[in-house]
């Protein structure tokens, strides 16, 4: 049976070059980076060189990059410290953010004297900038947290416009860029972001490692206490091999960005055309069917299947060797509908199954042809 992986928004296949770099690091760089002997200094030097490389991709200084276990930890670090240490009184976000933001904000609302405001979105899930500006005008000591690429419907935020608007009104701006780092260039000398989160496994690196960008002199303080690793920002022995994997995967992503993004965008274009021609009754959720307003890496589709059949759809696709998802992998065990789709779809539309297909350089047009034939078969039964 053909095996096809279309769940790259959940996690990506680790590139062979990354595995090789990590394997070599496990063998050769086993010294604790905090040790002062040559073995430790070797690991420390490796980490710092990778930090410099990462900083160069975003036109920032190495001291503004803090390694974390991934995007969720980075999001928590920013939101928690902003409220606890910077005196933030209001968090402005949207109801279609990742739960790493929404649940953290809700918890902070319970723990501290902080309010949450949700910016309006339109029927496609795009941010209402007039409402955002209104919220900013009426805010005091605010932190705005809006994701660059929505992980479920792929909508693209005008991140420069958002950052500039926040700066004009004296608000801090944080963006969950987990779905965009490694896929889009971000020059932070041009885009006044204060904080962003990234995770290696979204761009063909290992799981369990990511980083947080923290603008110099922000005043942010640690979330995890202990040793003085990461300049005191994040205690705990550094996972050298994972950081090596992160560095290698990000370097490959940006070195080959033009070629790889063109290829993957071609796959999405082909997919949309194929679906539109052969299954015209299928609807694209959000802006995922629009190549200008959504990321080139995913689509989210609503299928014309009865409510009774929808429960078994992912299982049936899995039986055909096709890996995809209903939405965020973090919510895979949830029985309720997607919190993102519930904000933009009607009650009747929510009864029909929505499926996210996300692409990478390891997919082919043959994979898409196979998927479309399977969907045609399932929808005809």
In three state form, how does the secondary structure of the chain look?
Answer: CCCEECECCCCCCCCHHHHHHHHHHHHHCCCCCCCCCHHHHHHHHHHHHHHHHHHHHHCCCHHHEEEECCHHHHHHHHHHHHHHHCCCCEEEECCCCCHHHHHHHHHHHHHCCCEEEECCECCCCCECHHHHHHHHHCCCCEEEECCCECCCCCEECCHHHHHHHHHHCCCEEEEECCCCECCECCCCCCCCCCEEEEEHHHCCCCCCCEEEEECCCCCCCCCECCCCCHHHCECCCCCHHHHHHHHHHHHHHHHCHHHHHHHHHHHHHHHHHHHHHHCCCCEECCCCCCCCCECCCEEEEECCCCHHHHCCHHHHHHHCCEECECCCHHHCCCCCCCCCHHHCCCHHHHHCCEEEEECCCCCCHHHHHHHHHHHHHHHHC
Q: Give the pair of three-digit tokens for residue 166.
A: 């926040």
Burial 334-361 (b: 16+ CB within 10 A, else e): eeebbbbbebbbeeeebebbbbbbbbbb
Reply yes or no on whether 330 is catalytic.
yes
- 166, 287, 324, 330: the catalytic one is 330
What are the beta bridge partners of residue 66? 212
Active site residues: 330
């Amino acid at each position: 049976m053909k095996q096809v992986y279309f769940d790259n928004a959940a996690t990506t296949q680790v590139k062979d070059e990354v595995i090789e770099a990590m394997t070599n690091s496990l063998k050769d760089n086993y010294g604790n980076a905090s040790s002062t002997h040559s073995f430790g200094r070797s690991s420390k030097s490796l980490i710092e060189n990778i930090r410099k490389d990462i900083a160069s991709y975003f036109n920032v200084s190495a001291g503004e990059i803090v390694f974390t276990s991934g995007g969720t930890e980075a999001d928590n670090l920013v939101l928690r410290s902003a409220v606890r240490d910077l005196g933030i009184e209001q968090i402005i976000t949207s109801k279609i953010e990742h739960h790493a933001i929404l649940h953290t904000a809700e918890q902070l609302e319970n723990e501290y004297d902080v309010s949450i405001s949700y910016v309006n979105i339109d029927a496609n899930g795009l941010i209402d900038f007039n409402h955002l500006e209104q919220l900013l005008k009426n805010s005091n000591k605010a932190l705005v947290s809006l994701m660059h690429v929505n992980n479920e419907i792929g909508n693209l935020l005008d991140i420069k416009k958002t950052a500039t608007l926040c700066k004009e009104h004296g608000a801090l701006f944080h963006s969950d860029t987990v779905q965009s780092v490694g896929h889009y260039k971000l020059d932070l000398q041009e885009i006044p972001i204060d904080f962003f989160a990234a995770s290696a496994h979204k761009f063909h690196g290992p799981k369990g490692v990511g980083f947080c960008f923290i603008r110099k002199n922000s005043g942010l303080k640690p979330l995890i206490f202990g040793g003085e690793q990461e300049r005191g920002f994040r205690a705990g022995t550094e996972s050298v091999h994972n950081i090596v994997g992160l560095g290698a995967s990000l370097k490959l992503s940006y070195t080959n960005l033009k070629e790889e993004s063109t290829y993957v965008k071609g796959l999405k274009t082909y997919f949309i055309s194929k679906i539109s021609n052969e299954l015209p009754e299928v609807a694209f959720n959000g802006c995922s069917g629009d190549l200008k307003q959504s990321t080139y890496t995913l689509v989210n589709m609503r299928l014309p299947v009865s409510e009774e059949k929808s429960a078994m759809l992912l299982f049936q696709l899995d039986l055909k060797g096709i890996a995809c998802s209903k939405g965020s992998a973090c919510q895979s065990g949830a029985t309720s509908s997607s919190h993102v789709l519930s904000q933009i779809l009607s009650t009747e539309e929510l009864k029909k199954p929505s499926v996210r297909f996300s692409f990478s350089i390891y997919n082919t047009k043959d994979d898409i042809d196979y998927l479309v034939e399977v969907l045609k078969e399932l929808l005809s039964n």
